[in-house]
Amino acid sequence: MPDRLTSTFAQLRSSAPFWSLRYVEETREHLAVRQDTAEPPHLAHDRGAMLTAVSEGGCGYCATSDLSRAGLQAALDRATGWAEATRGVSVHRFDPHAMPAPRGERSAVGETARSRSRAELYDVLAAECQHAKISDAIVERYAALDLWEVEQLYLTNTGGEVRQRFRYAVPHAHVAANRGTDTQTRSFADARQGGLERIARSGFIGSGARLADEALQLLAAPDCPTGTMDLLLMPDQMMLQIHESIGHPLELDRILGDERNYAGASFVTPGMFGTYRYGSTLLDVTYDPTLPAEVASFAFDDDGTPAEKVWLIRKGILERPLGGRLSQLRAGLPGAAAARASGWNRPPIDRMANLNVEPGASALAEMIGAVERGVLMRTNVSWSIDDSRDKFQFGCEWGELIENGRIAGVVKNPNYRGRSATFWRSLRMVGDASTFEVHGTLYCGKGEPNQGIHTGHASPACLFGGVAVFCGERG
């Protein structure tokens, strides 16, 4: 399809000085086993293109799944109409002559889905589901695998041509245990790029029995203590903490006000960059879409900006926001290759890709040993944060009490709350490379029209001091 599109694109015409085509083709397969019963497989093949036109001062788009020459020309005509209609009333005076014409290519990594039969994959899922059946208290067992491949093509009438391919294999599992009015859950997800090799490398094999055992431990565990204490966040909860209270506040379109009606604004203001103390001197945060291991890696963003690693926070000082090319122009600030769209039918907006906390120098045992009284938490289960991404409250599936430098047992329903503006300054210790893990989420929602997209977050374990910790029901 991309080769045919390239030749069709060359035949399109517009009165706008600049236009582009962004083609996205996705092939998906969802397999799951629940309660030892194979769920019916769901396959999907989606493809379409967004035509964007830029005139002197205006910009518009039109997305279509009609990829014939007539269909694409009609979409370009509509986009051109929008570009004309928005001249003089746009938030930015678009300059069609300054639009980039990128050229490049990216290949997918990993084993293809076709290297193992669907029956073999169902057997893998069935085994995890079956192995979670360790007690009558286990009330739900679920194991699933999402496989998808994406091919993208970006063309401009000024000679730009970018081809990118992506491959994903994401295993996930969920187990629930119940006794009376108490239900405890444990879950597993491995959101990274790659192929079927991810099943073995992710730790998915054996997760069914482990999750079930941990859910039963939680049922029997005492409540998480309530009070101000140390908090040791493991990497799979650091993922959420980074995402909500660093990633979203640093999105430049929020800072510019675009999201105020829906996803919200930010407590961060343009004047803070270069001077604001976001966290303690131990906090180093980078944005790196070039890392092949993470889920949101690419060579070019959806506006055609080449990917590169940039530092957002260095030794606790805020350096730059997460804004794509357009937001950078509007704000007069540096940014990153961060303009991303959830598919062919949604326009690019500022997004996180791989947003990571860099490893520090502390081993996990050292961090636990440094805690007089505190709680270790892993695996997010509840998340809520205000519209300026400041006041947050997060809950985890799993907690472990730490007393006098030792793990003192499992606790249930652990929650904590705080404010982004001060929380990161309480960062006491940062785990070394041995504690570093790569995670990601497939469901970051934002934008009008709404877009759900995947983001990657890698982090070591991190220790925070003086945090308000509480039990779900009683805190």
Partner 1 sequence: MKDAFFALADRLCGEAASGETLLLGLAAERSDFVRFNHAKVRQAGSVTQRFLSVRLVRARRQAAATIALAGGEENLAQDLAAARAALAQVRAALADLPEDPWLLVAEHPESTAAERRGKLPQAEEVVREVVAAAQGRDFVGAYAAGTIHRGFANSLGQRNWHAVDSFNLDWSLYLRGGKAVKSGYAGFEWDAPTLAAKLEGAAAELALVALPSRAIAPGEYRAYLAPRALEELAALLCWGGFSARAHATRQSPLLRMAHGETLSTKITLVENTADGVGPRFQHDGFVKPPAVTLLAAGRLGDPLVSPRSAREYGLATNAANAGESPEALDMAPGALAPGEVVRALDTGLHIGNLWYLNYSDRPAGRITGMTRFATFWVERGRIVAPVDPMRFDDSIYRMLGANLLDLTRNRELLLDTGTYGERSTGTMRLPGALLGALRLTL
* Minimum CB distance to partner 1, residue 370 (Å): 27
Residue 218 CB contacts under 8 Å (≥ 6 apart), including other chains: 177, 184, 186, 397, 398, 410, 412
* Minimum CB distance to partner 1, residue 133 (Å): 14
Q: Which is nearer to partner 1, 86 or 158 (CB)?
A: 86
| CB neighbour burial string for 359-394, b if at least 16 within 10 angstroms, e if fewer | bbebebeebbebbebbbbbbbbbeeebebbbbbbbb
Q: Which is nearer to partner 1, 259 or 284 (CB)?
A: 259
* Minimum CB distance to partner 1, residue 168 (Å): 17
Q: Which is nearer to partner 1, 159 or 449 (CB)?
A: 449
Helix or strand or coil: residue 317? strand
* Minimum CB distance to partner 1, residue 435 (Å): 27
* Minimum CB distance to partner 1, residue 367 (Å): 26
* Minimum CB distance to partner 1, residue 6 (Å): 18
Q: Which is nearer to partner 1, 107 or 112 (CB)?
A: 112
Q: What DSSP state is assigned to residue 270?
A: G
Q: What DSSP state is assigned to residue 272?
A: G
Q: What DSSP state is assigned to residue 252?
A: H
Residue 100 CB contacts under 8 Å (≥ 6 apart), including other chains: 156, 160, 303, 304, 305, 325
* Minimum CB distance to partner 1, residue 343 (Å): 8
Q: Please, are residues 134 and 213 in contact by the beta-carbon 8 Å criterion? A: yes
Dihedrals phi, psi of 7, to nearest 5 degrees: -75, -35
Q: Which is nearer to partner 1, 219 or 430 (CB)?
A: 219
Pick from 202, 36, 218, 236: nearest CA to 132: 36
Q: Which is nearer to partner 1, 96 or 316 (CB)?
A: 96
Q: Which is nearer to partner 1, 315 or 474 (CB)?
A: 474
Residue 316 CB contacts under 8 Å (≥ 6 apart), including other chains: 277, 278, 279, 280, 281, 282, 283, 424, 425
Q: Please, are residues 144 and 173 in contact by the beta-carbon 8 Å criterion? A: yes
